[in-house]
Structure 1
Amino acid sequence: MEPFGAKLTRHFAPLKSVIALFLGFAAGFVELRAAAQTQEVQTAAVETLSSASDASGAELATGPKTYRSRHVLLHTDVGDEPASELLKRLEATLGYASRYWRRPAKGMLECYVAKHVDAWPADALPHPLARLAISRIGGVTTTLPGLNRAKGSARPICYARAEDGIPEHEIVHAYCLASFGRCGPTWYKEGMAELARLGGDRRPDVRCPAEYIEFFRTQPPRTIASIVHQGETTAGISRSLREVASQLEQADQSQDALVHWTESHAEEVTKALDAYRWNWALCHFLAHNENYAREFRRLGRALLEGREANFDATYADVQQQMEFEFRQFVQHVDVGLRADLCRWDWGTPCQKLRGSEECEKRILAHRGYQASGVALQAGARYAYRCRNAACAPRSQIGPKEQTTLGEYPLEAAILSDRQLGEPFILQRRGTFVANSTGPMYVRLHGKWTDIGDVRGAIHLVVGAAKLEDAELIAREKPAESIETPSVTTH
């Protein structure tokens, strides 16, 4: 929920003069329940500036208390201990942002985080639409007036519901506004805020909520181009807020904005949330795929600094490969899936075998599909063998603990006409007939969420089947295929 730079006044001027404030807000979240990831940070000394609770520190239901850490001024009703934990998470998120974008957080970032916003006094929030934004949208971020955003000197204010992850998402927007004066295009600002919220800033494995996984399993796939060029996905929310503000202006300005929030307005929030999920998927994929991560980081920095930057131009030479890998990432997305497993060896040549030639490749157990070095011919029979296999889960690796290839067969697939064929299993040795023409790629067989934790390597040798392979051919069973939807490069 990006900010849009409208001006905020702490003294309630006539509503007409401040309507514009919320019209450019990006959408919040709808019941996001993913646990925010924490990392070790220096414990922030929490200073209680004002109190609206009893001496026991019980959960607040009458209004906010104010707390402070190094970079955050927090107004919240969650209670002392939860507020302290929230400050730690917000500082951890700011630490990631500072390291990733290589610019420290500027000044104090002010946050209003409400668990029972309906119980807050009317003057506890600095804008008449803030209560609506927290309770019906989830979170928004804006800036105070009189500051130069272009020079990165804006002072942002966050409003967020006290649900796991929403304040962390908003603090990323606040950091970008304070440090750069902008947040970038919608797909980037929302995708990166979600990336930080879901812990993808520190690790390549997916840790999104279960509803995200279900969403991607039930939605038709989208291309990267459609996500990047989708435009302002929060326009519907801006329109909804404009309508509410207009109705408040015509009515008694003391009237609660919630009275004018309708089901159609709520639907706009849901649409925005769906777009956020795709934004997150793209940013997580690009940030952790070595084929594209370096350029992605440079592109993002340029977008935040207001320099000329173009996504299509940045990835013009690898657009088809990138779309192929992203489609694979979304197809297999699950909690624990490492985005770097979807990285392909496009630069490794695969050549046709001549005569008795053989090709040997070392296949790393913890990688995704890797080039076998062999380009297959449809209808031709090939013999293979695997040797020097030494693979084991990382947690089991020790001087006397090692599993064998028998537990970890290889999985092979042929890439033909920009489409990945049906995968099949390679055991210790055997033969197979290629069902299409194209380079063969292989990986350790297993769940995508598991193979990233396996260590070791397998040496795969592939050659044309010979007379001495007759015994293998006689014993050969039909290739064991794997029920996996095909992936295309478009």
Structure 2
Amino acid sequence: MSRVWMSLGVLAAALHLFSPAAFAQSTPPQVYTSKSFQVMTDLPPDQAKELMEKLETMVKLVSAYYGSPCRKPIRMYVVDKLSNWPAEELQQMPADGQAAIRNGAGVTLTTTRGILGGPKLDADAVVYAVADHGTAQHEAVHAYCGITFGETGPVWYSEGMAEVGQYFRPNEKGVNAADYVIDYLTSRAPKPLMEIVNNPLETTGDSWQNYAWRWAVCHLLGYNTNYAPRFKPLGLSLLAGNDTSFQNVYGAQIPEIDFEYRLFLKNLAPGYRCDLCSWDWNTRFKAVTGSTQVVAKVDAQRGWQPSRGLVKANTSYQSAATGEWSTAPGADAVSVAGDAQGHGTLMGIVFDDYALSEPFVIGDARTFTVPKDGQLFLRCRDDWGAIADNKGTVSVRIKLAGQ
């Protein structure tokens, strides 16, 4: 069986393909080859070399993630300025490829023969993209999946993982999405989770805004320790063309994922680590009443952590902490009172029925009250994108005031 399909990439805005500067300098297209790529581009040689290095690094990381090397080199046409390309070269491009480039975007055209996911699968993928490195890398992820698996999965997974893949960096787990993506996601009400993963009307190439939401879901599921163990098998099953879905795999966990998805978007920042901020759903809590008290170890390098205490609004509690922590390399260690800028201050928040109170300061205060009933969580105050370099833990004891 043979079939042809395409995946489209989009940009926030068209590039400079048709600006006056596009005609100021002529660099005829050249062919560059590497282990995994054959790229024709009119980029200047130094920029072309940089692109090839990024592509090789990306496909190496994507191959390691899926556990499958790319079956054959990926062919790409990467256009910086259309005026640099001879008319006869452009005429050989398929209409879909030309249209994507003229629209400042990219497209991957894949032809498959054989059984999806089978050992005898034979597939070819050709990328046509503008010379923005993010677009080329995004499309290269589609091409890798097409060649390796013969499929890229449903739109939410296909485009979400292509966005995740273009941001892959060696030994890096923090958020490094483009600034405009982070700015957009943090300035809008969260798009409902199920509208992203269960919307058959969405199509590839629809809008960069939809790509941003899909990236957010896939990044969260791929790095959060509560969901990552199931996410890769889900992806491999989708790429094999199996009859499975987000709902089938996560089922009863969906309310928890929805909560962490909304929390991720609220705190999203460059460097944010989903693995360090994964919510603890397993710790048991007990009511802090009478002589009952709780003790918690709070790690400066993690997000909200369980105090083990159930608390009530308008009730006074007493805290006592031992230990110190630091919130930057080389910074002096501080107590839970924090430094002059508030970094290192012990903070609290109350969780109940998948909703959070506003955060509040506990610090080294002898007594404090909470804004609602629920489970008390604690953390070391620091910018959400900067907690990975924090050091130290403190022990916090909480009991009713006056006991």
Output the TM-score relative to the length of structure 2.
0.89
Q: Which runs of 5+ in 2 are unaligned?
A: 16-23, 339-343
Work out whether residues 117 and 131 of structure 1, in 8 Å CA contact, stay in contact via their aligned partners in 2. Answer: no
| Structure 2 residue 131 is matched with structure 1 residue 162 | yes
The offset of 1:302, in angstroms, is: 1.1
| Structure 2 residue 376 is matched with structure 1 residue 440 | yes
- 2:94 maps to amino acid: H
Work out whether residues 11 and 104 of structure 2, in 8 Å CA contact, stay in contact via their aligned partners in 1. Answer: yes
**Aligned partner of 2:42 among 77, 82, 107:** 77
Match of 1:94 in 2: 59
The offset of 1:137, in angstroms, is: 4.5
Match of 1:13 in 2: none
Q: Secondary structure at the match of 1:340?
A: coil
The offset of 1:164, in angstroms, is: 2.3
| Structure 2 residue 250 is matched with structure 1 residue 285 | no
Match of 1:486 in 2: none
**Aligned partner of 1:110 among 64, 67, 75:** 75
Percent of aligned positions with the same letter in both sequences? 29
**Counterpart-to-counterpart distance in 1, 2:335 and 2:189:** 39
Match of 2:360 in 1: 424
Match of 1:41 in 2: none
Once the two structures are superposed, residues 231-279 of structure 1 have per-residue CA deviations (whole angstroms, 9 ceiling, x without a partner) of 35336x6xxxxxxxxxxxxxxxxxxxxxxxxxxxxxxxxx521110001
Once the two structures are superposed, residues 369-419 of structure 1 have per-residue CA deviations (whole angstroms, 9 ceiling, x without a partner) of 1110000123322111111x221235227xxx5343332121101113432
Work out whether residues 362 and 457 of structure 1, in 8 Å CA contact, stay in contact via their aligned partners in 2. Answer: yes
**Counterpart-to-counterpart distance in 2, 1:94 and 1:300:** 17
Work out whether residues 312 and 370 of structure 2, in 8 Å CA contact, stay in contact via their aligned partners in 1. Answer: yes
**Counterpart-to-counterpart distance in 1, 2:304 and 2:281:** 10
- Structure 2 counterparts to residues 17-416 of structure 1, below 5 A: 25-31=7-13, 61=26, 63-124=28-89, 125-144=92-111, 147-148=113-114, 150=116, 151=118, 152-199=121-168, 202-234=171-203, 271-387=206-322, 389-393=323-327, 395-396=329-330, 402-407=333-338, 408-416=344-352
Range 178-187 or range 458-467, more displaced? 458-467
Work out whether residues 414 and 420 of structure 1, in 8 Å CA contact, stay in contact via their aligned partners in 2. Answer: yes
The offset of 1:104, in angstroms, is: 0.6
- 2:234 maps to amino acid: L
- 1:427 maps to amino acid: G
Cα distance change, pair 163–435 in 1 and its aligned pair in 2 (3 A)? closer
**Counterpart-to-counterpart distance in 2, 1:105 and 1:169:** 15
- 1:130 maps to amino acid: G
**Counterpart-to-counterpart distance in 2, 1:412 and 1:62:** 58
Q: Secondary structure at the match of 1:133?
A: helix
**Counterpart-to-counterpart distance in 1, 2:101 and 2:370:** 58
Q: Secondary structure at the match of 1:231?
A: coil
Work out whether residues 60 and 77 of structure 1, in 8 Å CA contact, stay in contact via their aligned partners in 2. Answer: no
Q: Which runs of 5+ in 1 are unaligned?
A: 8-20, 34-58, 238-270, 468-490
Cα distance change, pair 89–297 in 1 and its aligned pair in 2 (3 A)? same
Once the two structures are superposed, residues 176-201 of structure 1 have per-residue CA deviations (whole angstroms, 9 ceiling, x without a partner) of 01110001111111111111212368
Work out whether residues 349 and 357 of structure 2, in 8 Å CA contact, stay in contact via their aligned partners in 1. Answer: yes
**Counterpart-to-counterpart distance in 2, 1:92 and 1:201:** 8
In terms of fraction of residues, the more helix-rich structure is 1
Q: Secondary structure at the match of 1:405?
A: coil
Range 69-78 or range 135-144, more displaced? 135-144
Residues matched between the structures, number? 384
Cα distance change, pair 191–29 in 1 and its aligned pair in 2 (3 A)? same
Q: Secondary structure at the match of 1:110?
A: strand
Work out whether residues 365 and 456 of structure 1, in 8 Å CA contact, stay in contact via their aligned partners in 2. Answer: yes
Rg (Cα) greater in structure: 1
Work out whether residues 186 and 232 of structure 1, in 8 Å CA contact, stay in contact via their aligned partners in 2. Answer: no
Q: Secondary structure at the match of 2:232?
A: helix
**Counterpart-to-counterpart distance in 2, 1:118 and 1:129:** 19
